[in-house]
Each structure stands twice: as C-alpha cells, then as structure tokens.
Amino acid sequence: MDAVDVSEHYEVTAADNSPSLLSIVLDTNPRAWAALDSSLSLAQAISNILVFVNAHLAFSNANQVAVIAAHVNRAVWLYPALQHPSSTTVKDNSGDVQMHDASAETSLPPPSANKYPQFAQIESSVFSSIQTLMAETTVQDLDQLTTQLSGALTLALCRINKAAQALSSSDTTLSNAAPVNATAPPPVKGRIVVVSVSDSDPSQYIPTMNAVFAAAHNQVAIDTISLAGDSTFLQQACFNTNGIFLKAANPRGLLTYLMFGLIPDTEARASLITPTHDTVDFRTACFCHGKVVDTGYVCSVCLSIFCTPPDNAECLTCGTVLALGNYGAKPAVLPRKKKKKKKIANGSGREETGSATGTPRP
Amino acid sequence: MSINPSLSLAEYLERLPGTTFKKLYQQPSTTFAIFRRMLPHLAKTFVMRMLFLPHPMTLADLDAWVKPEAKRKKDQSLSILRSLHIVQISAPSKEKPQEIQLMSNFKRSLRLALTGGGNHNSFGVPSSLMVPPEIDLPFLDRYARKKWEDVLHFVVSSVGYKSSLGEGSGPNKGVKELLIAGQLVDRRPNGSLGITQAGFTFLLQEANAQVWTLLLLWLEVLGNNKSSGLDPVDMLSFLFMLASLELGRAYDTNALTEERRNMLPSLVDFGLIYIPQHKRSMFFPTRLATTLTSGGNSLRTISEGSLGLLGGGGTGEQAGSVVIETNYRLYAYTQSALQIAVLALFAKLNMRFPDMVAGRLSRASIRQAINFGITADQIISYLSAHAHEQMHRTAALTNKPVLPPTVVDQIRLWQLENERMKTTSGFLFRDFTDDKDYLDTARFSEEIGVLVWRNDNTRMFFANKHEQIKDFLKSRKKAE
Amino acid sequence: MPRAIRGVLIECDPSIKSIIVNIDSVNHDFIIEDLDEERVVVKENMVQLLKQKLEDRLKENLPPVDESGSE
C-alpha cells in the first residue's frame, strides 16, 4: 500500500564510501633524528605515527595504510613488509617488488586480546622493518645529510595506483554509468603524509617534482609535517596537490599535530577549514648544478632552468642554441610594487617569494 | 502493515538509554565498532581531533573548524554524536561559553583501542589449540555462504519456487522461527509460509544489511523474552566484538562469559561463526561477522576476495547471468532457484529452459514489485550487479552504459508515476507564546538538522525528532 | 507554552491534497492541521488507511493503462 508514498525511495542515499588509502613516508635520516633526539626520539615518533595510522584505519575497514621509510640512500617498505626481508630488495624479472600484506605472515606471535589484530600486525611489521633498516645502515651512509625523498614518494604513488586499479577492476560490474573518464573521482582517496626531518636535497628536485605532478594528476594529496630542517620542495609539493604543510614548532607534540592537523582525509577536507601555508617557497633547483636558485636562466624551448648561462649558449637539456641578449649580464628584475621582504644574496639564504600562483598543473 | 521489521542499526541504537551506552562504551572493541560503523565521516574526524585533547573545548572553536557551507553537515554530525552519547555539550549559560567534550568512557575506550594496552580482553582471546588444517579462508567463506544462502532460500522458497536443496538442508528451526517472528515471512491461513513485503525488501538488500537486519531481529526477540536470561546490551557488545576479530583465526570459547557462550549456537545457525565438530572449545568468525562494521553497503576490499557475491541475494557461482535488451526482454542463464525467484519479484517470467529463463519487464511487473516495497534503484542495482559478461563486453565496445538507458529510465519512471506524496513522521510544534520563542526554537531545530518545514507566519514548524528540542525548551525555561 | 503534536507530515501536489481534504471531510478523523496548499499533518495511525483510500480514489479516476504485453 506504500506505492503512493515516495518517502521510502528518497531515503536511499548514495554515500560516498570509497576507501581512503594513506601512505606515510617517514624520513629516517639517522643524523637528523640524532639531532632531534633530545625532544623526540625516532622510537617515540614511530609510536606516535602508529597511533595516527590506527586512527586512520579506524575510520573504515576498507581504509588502507602503507608506511615507507625514506632513508639516506634508498626507500624501504615498512608496511606492508616485503615477503623476504633480506638485505637487498627482492625484485622479480619485471623489476616489481613482491609485496604481501601482513596477514599473510605466519611467523607473528599470537596477538594479544587487548589489541585490534590489524593494529598489532602493522606495529610488529613496522618495528621489525625499521630495525632491519637501521642494522643495515653503514657508517658511510651517515655522511649523507639529506634523504632520498623522491623514491619514497614514487613508491607511495605506485601503491595508491595499484590499489586504485585493483578496486576499479573489481568494480566494473557496479557501474552502469559511462566508462571512467578523467573527471570521475578516483576509486580510492589517496593521500601521502610525509614526516620530514631534513633539508630538501637540491639534486632531488626534478624527481621529486615529477612525483608531485603525478600525484596532482591522480588527485593524491601530499601532506607534510616538518619536524626539523628546511623542506623547500615539500612546501611546493603540498601546495601543488592541495595538501597541508605543517611546520611543527615543538616536535614533542607530534601526535597532536598528526591527530589534529592531518587526520581529515580528502573527503573531510571538503567541509573543514584546513591549516594553510601562507607563504610557499617556490624556488627551484637549477638543472646544471642542482643549486636552489631564486632567479635564473630559462631555456625558451624546453623551460630548463640554469643558474648560469650554459657553455656556448647551448641548452644542456634539449641542445637548442639560445641567443642570449646581453650575454653574461644579470637578468633584469622588475621591482615589485609592494616590496615585502628584503632581498638576500642568491643561493645562500632562503627566502619566501610570496608569489600567489604556483607552478601550473599538468 | 506499519511495523518495520527491517529496523536499521542506527534506529535501534538511538532508542537505547544513556546508561546502556555507558555500559557499551566500557569495552574498547564495542567503542571502536560503533565509531567505525555508526558515525558519518565528518563526525569521525571531530572525534579524532578531540580524542587527545586534555580539556573540553568551546563550541565556538568547533565552529571555526568548519567551512561555512558545511555548517549543516556539522550540525547533523553533532546531533548524531549526541544521540549516541559520544559527546557532552554543556548547557548554555551566560557566564561560560558552551563547551564540548567526549564522554569519558568513550574517550578512554577509544584511546585504548587505538594505542593498545589495558587488560580488557575485548578483542577476543585466541585459542591456544592446534587449528585443524582443513579450516582455511576458502573453507570459512564456503561455510558462511552456505549458511546464509540457506536463510535466503528459506525466505524465497515461501514465494512458491521450491528450493532445489530438499527439505532437511534449510536453516535451523530457531532461525525459521526468528524469520517468522520478524515478519519476513508469515504463516498463511492454510498453514503454508508466505513472504511478506519486508521479506522482499530484505532479499534485495546487500549482504551486510541483511545480516544486521537478522541480528537486530534476534536481539529484539530475545530482549522481549525475559526468560532467555540474555542481556541485549551484552549481546550487542558481543556482536561488535565479533566484528573486530580476525578472519581465519581460532578463538577460545572458554574465555567467554557463560551468557556469551550460550549465544554461540545461534550465531552458528546464522553462519557468523564456525565451531569445528570435534573441537568445541574454539570458534572461527566468518566473513559475515568480521565485516559487520564495514560501512553500510560495501563489502569490497582490495586484497581480500569480496563477499559481494552474496549481495542482492544472488547465488555465488554465476555472478553475471542476466541479459536485458532494449525491448525490455530479460534472459537469465541460471539454474538457481534463488535467483529465479528474485527475478520473478520484478519481471514477468514466461519461459523456463534447463539452464535459462526468459521473461520481460513490464509496467505491471515493476508496479507489483514497488507494491512489495522494492525500489526502482534496488532493481536497477540488482540488474547491473548481475549483468551478463556479454553485456559488459558490448558496453565496453560501443562505449555505452551496461544496462540499456531506456530500460533504466523506464523503470524509474514506472516508479515515479505513482509517487504522489512524501510522508515524514514527526512532531508539529505550535502554540508558541511569542515570536522570539518561536524563532529561537525553529532556528535550533534547523541547526540540529531535524527541521522539515516551517511557517513563520503561523508560528508552526514540523520536526522529525523532538527529544533535543524538548531539552532545549526545558533549558530555555530554566534560564528565564 | 508551545505544544508538540505527534503526526505525519504529508507533502504533495495541491490536487492530491484536495483529495485528502475531501477524504477527511467525511469524518474529520485524518487531518490534525492543514498547513498550506501542499502540506497537511495527519494522525500517525491513520496514514495507512489514508493511503489506501487515496489509492482507491486515484484508481477510480485514472484511465486503465494499456498493457498489451504481446510477445
């Protein structure tokens, strides 16, 4: 008899419950952590991060997590752990790394009844992987002051992409709508949180920015919590991907920063006011020496950036012979109308440009 | 007719008194499950942000978190948090701004759930006995599917399509009685069983919703029956605990309380857990149990196989078997009595072959389905979920939707053509003494998201819930 | 003191509403409050009966739909 009544049908809501995938990139630079040890040790930081990971997983049981260590010379999976935790990453013929979720591991001790099983697995996996990683770190590695961030970012993106594909392929039966096009929302809400403790390495500029643009293209947000150091490129990464950049003035409060600033995923951010970065360091690294430059020379053909005019005025990237007007002169800089900051000599000091627009998106 | 047996979990919980919640929130696993299952996304974010705050925060601060255009969403989130007794908001007064904080029980338990530790054993004590090697994930999935299909078969077979399984293999007597008590099927005057409107809706629900429907019925029936000696609160808490167990792991029955051990046989009947014949002291949760807290309608996960095959009452083996043409003809390559019976709910089947049935959708057949309480969207999603592979292939080749749009639209139109009105049950508020009184109350109800209609000229408004408005009126009266 | 009255809000077209008012006019046992052109509040326990009566009314007035259904 309800046929005349429409109320029942209106109550069918299409809630968006696509799973959200969080990838945490943890900067494990030993030198930087040693410097930070008095306020926050690596072990404490990892415990805090694990609580944050658990909080993310608590949102929905479709949510997933990956933890990746960005070490001085390579990027390492902490969770999900590799199948064979050996000294070198095991690769098959295609160069892919075999991965297994911890549920496949059988060697784990029986879980405690006081802990959600999934949380316990992640915890043991992360701790054992990081111990292996630290044990393998040699004295030579310690000379490195910076971290291989781009590799870790790329791994995180690969993981998100893999998850998205796995979901969309199992999902095809559900959609009677038009085939997936570029404007359709991705099947997973990907997000990368970088816990950074060291400076950005200028030589990493190009691979990092490539990863950032790939992330922006896939609608993956990159968030950063910077505990120490000067992460120029990560500021740009967050800006370009609509992520959140947090500079932790007090590293001891890492958990609060994480739980408060970084818990909302891309869905919740639609309705929340997120912390904004008022100034973004938009400087780039030159292609010739890997120096961070404020003003430089740009190839008019391929847009490569150089700190000094290249030899014979020939672009190092595309080989075009460039005609340099007024060869060797300093590039003319038009004074801004409102000058906010004093100029500091090129290269040494760091400075915010305060520019309102970012690098254009692909 | 107005009884709604497919009561949703949210409605069930909202009717519980505050003291019950206090008890529920003593267990971290329960707290965790309620957090995961019951809250909208924004509310979860609020809870997480407040979880590690040492002091209450002012409501004004909370307002500052939210974008102005999402205010409505925020108000609704807060209203849900309050109705589930998760947050506490201090009464408005002149000296102090209103403050909000998590209930201490909830806060403590959720913190414990996230950080681990404590000695509550609420995530299940694993069994120390050897696990029989034949019990693996596929085994448990097969077992759960078999049990659940038995239940569905029982509901469906009452339509008149005899189950091909024979008599002895149906669900247990207890389950049958439960289905009857819950009015999913009812006894006809001639003694036979017949499916009810609620039963039809039940059949077309997703597996997860079906499980909850059945469990809530069970809670209801046992709750009314005082002699059972079971406390519905403890049972609910136990169900939530089951949801947080790990699939494929054996748990110890001896660690459970007496009452909970008494629940196990029923749970075995539903297929939520498995107890090996020769080792009665261990139990395995099945996927039906461990996905209890997955968000409403998705059973899909990436690494684990999906139980979605169960969804919509389909039979596991043949996921895609239905072909539908633009002329409304429908062919289903299936032998499953269950699937044929489901199709017969909304299609006029006129030919039956050894491995195929053919029929067509007509205005009359869809109208009949809608009279049963099935919605057009349910039918469409059923058809698309069970579309034949050939349909997908053609769709991919011609770059068109899987189901013919003309059929999809027509099904919707057939539903719409008789929808003449919209009903909302609730409360009409009237006879306000003055304008200010009226405006304040109406604004309050709008803020908490219960306002349906208002007319400022006649000083009347209609709200779908009244508890919080009542409290509001009381506190106003006190303040005067 | 404001009053809260339990009931069911029905939102519909003016034409349907007039039928409801007409059904109510026999015994005045359905409607609690006539709100406006498109809305009435009716008693909760009478909704099912009202729906049934409305359906009957509509059936009387609608032409039978052509349902040839030939194969």
pLDDT at B383: 84
pLDDT bin (cut points 50, 70, 90) of residue B389 is confident
Of B206 and A361, the one with more pLDDT: B206
| pLDDT at position A323 over 80 | no
Is the CATH number of domain B9-115 2.60.40?
Answer: no
What's the rounded Cα separation, in Å, for the pair A24 and A323? 46
Mean pLDDT across chain A = 74
Residue with structure tokens 């299409």? A14
- pLDDT band, residue B65 (cuts 50/70/90): confident
Let me know: does B47 contact B86? Beta carbons within 8 Å. Answer: yes
Most C CBs within 10 Å: which of B350, B440, B462, B469, as the mutation test of the C interface?
Answer: B462
Residue C65 lies in a domain: no
Q: Where are the domains of chain A?
A: 20-82+116-168+187-270, 283-327
Closest CA to A89 of A65, A71, A115: A71
CB pairs under 8 A between A and C: 11
* Mean predicted confidence (pLDDT) in A266-270: 81
Residues 6+ apart with CB under 8 A from A278: none
Q: What is the mean pLDDT of chain C?
A: 81
Give backbone dihedrals phi and psi of B127, rounded to 5 degrees, phi first: -80, 140
The pLDDT of residue B302: 26
Q: Which amino acid is at B205?
A: Q
Give the total number of structural domains in chain C: 1
Alpha helices in B100-227 (DSSP H): 104-115, 137-157, 173-181, 197-204, 207-224
CA-angle at B462, arms to B456 and B465, nearest 5°: 140
Give the residue-averaged pLDDT of B394-401: 80
Phi, psi of A64 (to 5 degrees): -130, 165
* pLDDT mean across residues, chain B: 78
Residue A95's pLDDT band, with cuts at 50, 70 and 90, is very low
Half-sphere exposure of C68 toward its Cβ, with a 13 Å CA cutoff?
Answer: 2
Per-residue confidence band for B42, with pLDDT thresholds at 50, 70 and 90: confident
Distance of CA B202 to the CA centre of its chain: 11
Relative orientation angle of helices B232-243 and B258-270, to the nearest 10 degrees: 60
Q: Is A208 helix (H, G, I), strand (E, B) or coil?
A: helix
pLDDT tens for B132-184 read 777 778 888 888 888 887 888 777 765 444 444 444 456 777 788 888 887 77
Q: Which residue has the higher pLDDT, A176 or A241?
A: A241
Provide CB contacts within 8 A for A49, sequence distance 6+: A24, A26, A67, A195, A254, A258
What pLDDT band is residue A17 in, cutting at 50, 70 and 90? low
pLDDT in tens, B11-27: 788 878 888 888 888 88
What does the pLDDT look like over B105-120, one tens digit per residue? 899 888 888 887 777 7
So where are chain B's domains? Answer: 9-115, 137-290, 322-418, 427-479
Yes or no: say if B320 and B388 are a contact pair by the CB < 8 Å rule. Answer: yes
8 Å CB contact of A103 and B303:
yes
- The C-alpha angle with vertex B55 and arms to B53 and B56, in degrees rounded to 5, equals 100
- Residue A138 CB neighbour total at 10 angstroms: 9
Taking only the tens place, the pLDDT of each residue in B430-443 is 888 888 888 888 88
Q: Cα separation of B306 and B294, whole Å?
A: 12
ipTM of the predicted structure? 0.81
Query: Please, where are the H alpha helices in B244-325?
Result: 258-270, 287-290
Q: Is residue C50 assigned to a domain?
A: yes
Q: Residue C38, Cβ neighbours under 10 Å: how many?
A: 14
- What pLDDT is recorded for position B315? 35
Q: Which two tokens stand for residue B253?
A: 């029955």
- The Cα C20–Cα C2 span in angstroms is 27
Average pLDDT on B42-49 reads 89
Closest to B236 (Cα-Cα) out of B58, B4, B24? B24
Could you tell me how many residues make up chain A?
362
CATH assignment of A20-82+116-168+187-270, among 3.40.50.410, 2.60.40.10, 3.40.50.150, 3.40.640.10:
3.40.50.410
Which of B297, B319, B408 shows the shortest C-beta gap to A176?
B408
Confidence of residue B358 (pLDDT cuts 50, 70, 90): very high
CA distance A307 to A344: 16
* Residues 1-60, chain B, touching A (beta carbon < 8 A): 1, 28-29, 32, 35-36, 41-42, 44-45, 48-49, 51-52
Secondary structure class of A77 (helix, strand, coil): strand
Structural tokens at position B383 = 């058809």
Interface membership of C49 toward A (CB under 8 Å): no
The CB-side HSE value for A91 (13 A sphere, CA atoms) comes to 6
pLDDT band with cut points at 50, 70 and 90 for residue A193: very high
At B228 the pLDDT is 63
Tell me the C-alpha to C-alpha distance, in Å, between residue B66 and each of A264, B87, B287, B336, B354: 12, 17, 37, 51, 60
Q: What is the pLDDT of residue A362?
A: 53
How many angstroms separate the CA of residue B371 from the nearest CA in chain A? 5
Helix, strand, coil % in chain B, rounded to nearest 5: 50, 15, 35
Judge whether C19 and C54 are in contact, CB under 8 Å.
yes
The pLDDT, as a whole number, for residue A168 is 64
> What integer is the mean pLDDT of A144-157?
84
Of A250-264, B370-384, B407-421, minimum mean pLDDT range: B370-384
- Return the pLDDT at B162: 46
Q: What is the average pLDDT across A304-320?
A: 82
Alpha-carbon gap, residue A304 to A316, rounded angstroms: 8
Tell me what percent of the residues of chain A surpass a pLDDT of 90. 5
Higher pLDDT, B6 or B304: B6
Going by C-alpha positions, the residue among A216, A197, A207, A222 that lies closest to residue A24 is A222
Q: Give the global pTM.
A: 0.70
Range A268-293 average pLDDT: 78
Percent of chain B with pLDDT over 90: 2
Residue predicted with more confidence, A352 or A69: A69
C-alpha to C-alpha distance for C3 and A137, rounded to whole angstroms: 74
Q: Domain holding C17: CATH number?
A: 3.30.70.1220
Determine whether domain B427-479 maps to CATH 3.30.1490.190: no
Distance from CA of B408 to the nearest CA of A (A): 9
- Closest CB from B427, B441, B470 relative to C6: B427
pLDDT in tens, B67-86: 888 888 888 888 888 888 88
% helix, strand, coil for chain A, step of 5? 35, 15, 50
The answer to whether residue C4 neighbours chain B at the CB level (below 8 Å) is yes
Task: List CB contacts (< 8 A) between B1 and chain A.
Answer: 1
